[in-house]
Structure formats: C-alpha cells, structure tokens
Amino acid sequence: MPLAIVRGGGDLATGVVYRLWRVGFSVVVLETHRPTAIRRTVSVAQAVFDKTHTIGGMTARLVTPSDMAQPGVHDGNVKVLIDPRGDSIAALKPDLLVDAVMAKRNCGTSKDMAPRVIALGPGFNAPRDVHAVVETLRGHDLGRVIVNGEAAADTGVPGEVAGETGLRVIRSPGNGNFEASVSIGDSVREGQVIGKVGDKLVWAGIDGVLRGLIHPLAAVVTGMKIGDIDPRAKRENCFSISDKSLAVGGGVLEAALAKRL
C-alpha cells in the first residue's frame, strides 16, 4: 500500500484521511500533543486523547515512533503520531504528503518532502511550494485542485451555514482551559451558558446543536475558536464527516492519483 502522511488531524484533514484510507492508502497523521480540533467526534486528532477513535468505520490509533518500526504496524488502521514539526517525514519516506494543518500559512512543508505534496487552503503556492493546492473555501470552487496559483485568501469570516456565520462560532472569553457544561450533540438555545474559561462564562450565540467543542485539556486564549453550533439542528450530523470535508478530501484524492499535475 502506498504511504500517505497527513499533517493535521482536524475535521477537514479527516475528510482527506478518510478518502485516502478508503482507496487503500496506508495513512499516518501527524498531530500536536494537545490538538485544538473543534469537531472532535469526526476528527482523527481525538485519538491523541483517547488512544483510539473510530469515524465511519475507520479507526485511528495513537502510536509512538518506536511503534512505527514494528512489523505489522500497517494493519489497516490510521496511525496518529505526535510530531507537530514533521521530524518523522524524512525517515518514513511517504509516497504522498498532505499539509492539512489549516494554519493559513506554510509551517514548513515543501514539495521536496515526498514525490507528491499537496496542501489545503491559503498559504501555499503551486508549483512553488507544493505540487497542488486544494481549495477549502465554501462555494463554487470548494475542493478544486489548483496546480498554478493559490487558494482563495482567508476572509476571516466563518462560512455560512443555514444563514448563520459569526454567531455560530463560539470563542474563548479568556486564557486557560474550556470547561464545558454541555456535550457535542446537545441542543442549545441562544444565551444559554455552555461552559466557562476560568471564571468567565461562555454563552451560545444562536439556537442549534453543538457540533463541536474543544477538548478541555487544550489550552485556549482570548478570541480563540472553542466551539461550533449548527443551526440546522440535526444531531446526527455531529457524528459524520461533513460534506465540505469530503469535498476537500476528494480534491486531494484527485491530485494524489492524477497522472500528471
């Protein structure tokens, strides 16, 4: 099986991981010690906290660098390795490298790291930095493969969901750790207290279902995104990979398998 390394294990990255896993790639995900993924139920990053995490029949398992050298490590499960700097990339020699960190800037990925290198969203230029960029902005070009140029610039405005933009995003009122009084999948009402950061309360901005909440062990700072409310209020959507993530994953799969870019 060809080896794909995906930098980042959030919900968009998980759409990529799922598409690659489904067609037979052996996938290793590189994450931080305390991932800040919001949609944790559908993020392979959750394996950092829980050791294993299953999404849509795909199981992600936390491993160590020594585990990667053991026979049978490529057992069909996705491997999650704590390696935010990507130090393991050179040793693992992947056939495909995907930068799905979504930092809106290049954090050290270059196209000499693998035979084919693909990046998500703004901050990269193809073919200067990577072989291809996949558009992540909702709209007509979502999931499109860019081989000459860059993805759309970050607007700083959350994508629209059922007419809601900024109010659906929950942001931290201070520095520290978020202590939730609700769970992902719960229904909430506008103005409802859903938790606190230190002694500062956090309220829901709209009615809907909590689609995501940051892990309580992840450090947060003032203004940081810590939650997401879905105004469509379909609880089942909280536990399946989103249309956007799958569209982006499809773009990566196209770029990975294209005969030429």
pLDDT digits (tens, 9 = 90+) for 187-245: 999 999 999 999 999 999 999 999 999 999 999 999 999 999 999 989 999 999 999 99
Transcribe the chain into DSSP letters: --EEEEE--SHHHHHHHHHHHHTT-EEEEEE-SS---S-GGG-GGGHHHHSEEEETTEEEEEE-TTGGGSTT--SSSEEEEE-TT-TTHHHH--SEEEE----SS-SS--TTSSSEEEEESSS--BTTTSSEEE--SSSTTTT-EESSB-PPPP-SSPPPBTTBSGGGEEE-SSSEEEEESS-TT-EE-TT-EEEEETTEEEE-SSSEEEEEE--TTSEE-TT-EEEEEETT--GGGGGS--HHHHHHHHHHHHHHH-S--
43 and 126, same structural domain?
Answer: yes
Q: Which pLDDT score is estimated for 140? A: 96
Report the CATH number that the domain containing residue 173 is assigned in CATH.
2.40.50.100
Residues 67-81: what's their mean pLDDT?
81
Residues 1-18: what's their mean pLDDT?
96
Q: Which pLDDT score is estimated for 164? A: 63
103 and 18, same structural domain?
Answer: yes
142 and 19, same structural domain?
Answer: yes
Q: Which pLDDT score is estimated for 67? A: 83
Report the CATH number that the domain containing residue 84 is assigned in CATH.
3.40.50
248 and 226, same structural domain?
Answer: no
pLDDT band, residue 73 (cuts 50/70/90): low
13 inside domain = yes
174 and 149, same structural domain?
Answer: no
248 inside domain = yes
219 and 143, same structural domain?
Answer: no
15 and 126, same structural domain?
Answer: yes
19 inside domain = yes
pLDDT band, residue 162 (cuts 50/70/90): low
252 and 127, same structural domain?
Answer: yes
| Total number of domains constituting the chain | 2
Q: Which pLDDT score is estimated for 82? A: 97
- Structural domain boundaries enclosing 103: 3-154+243-257
Per-position b or e across 167-201, b if 16+ CB within 10 A of its CB? ebbbebbbebbbebebebeeebeeeeebbbbeeee
Residues 75-84: what's their mean pLDDT?
93
| Sign, CA torsion 136/137/143/146 | negative
Look at phi and psi of residue 56 and say left if phi exceeds 0, alpha if psi is from -120 to 50, else beta: left
128 inside domain = yes
224 and 113, same structural domain?
Answer: no
253 and 189, same structural domain?
Answer: no
Contacts of 175 (CB under 8 A, 6+ apart): 197, 198, 219, 220, 221, 222
117 and 227, same structural domain?
Answer: no
pLDDT digits (tens, 9 = 90+) for 49-71: 999 999 999 999 999 988 877 76
Q: Which pLDDT score is estimated for 52? A: 97
